[in-house]
Amino acid sequence: MGSQQKKSNVLLVGSGGVGTIAAVNLEVGGLAEVTAVLRSNHDAVVKNGFHIKSCDHGVLSGWRPSKIVKSIPDVQKENLPPYDYIVMSTKNIPDVPPTAADLIKSAITPHHTTVVLIQNGLNIEKPFFAAFPNNAVLSGVSLIGSHEISHGVIEHDDNDRLVLGPFRNPNLDAAYEEKVAKEFARIYSAGGKTNCTYTADVGFSRWKKLVYNACLNSICAITGLDTGRIRLADGALDALVRPAMEEIRAAAKKAGYDLPPEVVEATIDMDPLTMYLPPSMLNDLRKGNFIEAENILGEPIREAEALGVPTPTLKVLYGLLKAIQWRTKEARGMVEIPPKEDFVAQS
């Protein structure tokens, strides 16, 4: 038990492409013990472990985190030691209950557990500040390319670069937030295989990633084209992608983050064209899943509006994605609509 006691106790919620590599990073550094909450892939991983083909870690066959559980633990009822960190790498879909904060409530120890959100979009910390006013919440912006291609099988083909820093919670001491953020970055990087950068100002990395997510991700999801094909399709870059990206740049600038003009073309060219990579929301729609439109499009639009920056392109994309989200809700029986009536031809 000697060295074990020094390890941080980490709960991982969301062990898909991004979360599983986070778990590997945390475990291989030897400074953390990860309990992974598995759902769809639970039985496969309990039986065979993860099969991971990783550009950072090589091939890991039958890999397992320290503990595997099937649902969010209840630290009080189960009399568990407190979690030092809860890493959330699930999709974040506030318009479909339960919310992410509701989900992890039973695993939080007030004044102790730090929540690490490796999730997309803006204002994702706010529901956590409201639910857990005395817990630090960290921003993790991940630029990893990693996907779970079948239950427990992870293909990690673009290096893990995690930009980490505290969301500023006015209830807490900034020095404390900085300390837990730097400590998590240290634990995460201890294996020496990943690139975890601490930042004091998380806004820049969040707005910068929106250039991809609010624009390319949205437009690919709506049109059904991947990031390669959207570059080949008739005029889509000029009509849609570039105007949307310039709106994000304008809003970011007003919010205090000056993204250079080059960010537009660099983001368009980020995924190699011939990879024909479907961004996350296109993937989600193809699987019939909900999409993260609220945090990666709705929140930036509302921020821009508050700052007086017009977002005519983004607003239309957002309206369309909300309608598409409603379609998924209907498909899952979550909304009721009046029955279809027959309008028979009268003769």
Helix (H, G, I), strand (E, B) or coil at 132: coil
Among 79, 234, 262, 308, binds its own copies (CB under 8 A): 234
- At its nearest, how many Å lie between its own copies and the CB of residue 325? 7
Q: Provide DSSP, 134-197.
A: TS-EEEEEE--EEEEEETTEEEEEE--EEEEEE---TTS-HHHHHHHHHHHHHHHHTTSSSEEE
- At its nearest, how many Å lie between its own copies and the CB of residue 268? 14
Q: Is 347 in the site for its own copies (CB under 8 A)?
A: yes
Among 2, 3, 58, 77, binds its own copies (CB under 8 A): 58
Q: Is 246 in the site for its own copies (CB under 8 A)?
A: no
- At its nearest, how many Å lie between its own copies and the CB of residue 164? 24
The DSSP call for residue 5 is G
List binders of its own copies among 74-133 (CB under 8 A): none
Q: Which stretch binds its own copies (CB under 8 A): 19-27, 178-186, 199-207, 273-281?
A: 273-281
- Whether residue 305 contacts residue 311, with contact meaning beta carbons closer than 8 Å, is answered with yes
Q: What is the CA radius of gyration of the chain?
A: 21
Cβ-based nearer residue to its own copies, 130 or 239: 239
The angle at the Cα of 14, spanning 272 to 85, to the nearest 5 degrees, equals 115
- At its nearest, how many Å lie between its own copies and the CB of residue 145? 8
- At its nearest, how many Å lie between its own copies and the CB of residue 275? 5
Backbone angles phi, psi at 329, to 5 degrees: -60, -45
Cβ-based nearer residue to its own copies, 266 or 335: 335
Q: Which stretch binds its own copies (CB under 8 A): 56-64, 69-77, 102-110, 252-260?
A: 56-64
Q: Which one, of 146, 152, 140, 156, lies nearest residue 39 by Cα? A: 152
- Whether residue 63 contacts residue 92, with contact meaning beta carbons closer than 8 Å, is answered with no
Per-residue string for binding with its own copies, 208-227, x by CB under 8 A?
-----------x--xxxx--
Q: Is 275 in the site for its own copies (CB under 8 A)?
A: yes
Per-residue string for binding with its own copies, 155-174, x by CB under 8 A?
xxxx----------------
Q: Is 338 in the site for its own copies (CB under 8 A)?
A: yes
Q: Provide DSSP, 286-340.
A: HTT----HIIIIIHHHHHHHHTT---HHHHHHHHHHHHHHHHHHHHTT-S--PPP
Cβ-based nearer residue to its own copies, 238 or 262: 238
Q: Is 337 in the site for its own copies (CB under 8 A)?
A: yes
Strands 58-63 and 50-54: antiparallel
Residues lying near its own copies in the complex (CB under 8 A): 53-55, 57-59, 155-158, 219, 222-225, 228-230, 232-236, 239-240, 272-276, 312-313, 315-320, 322-327, 330, 335, 337-341, 343-347
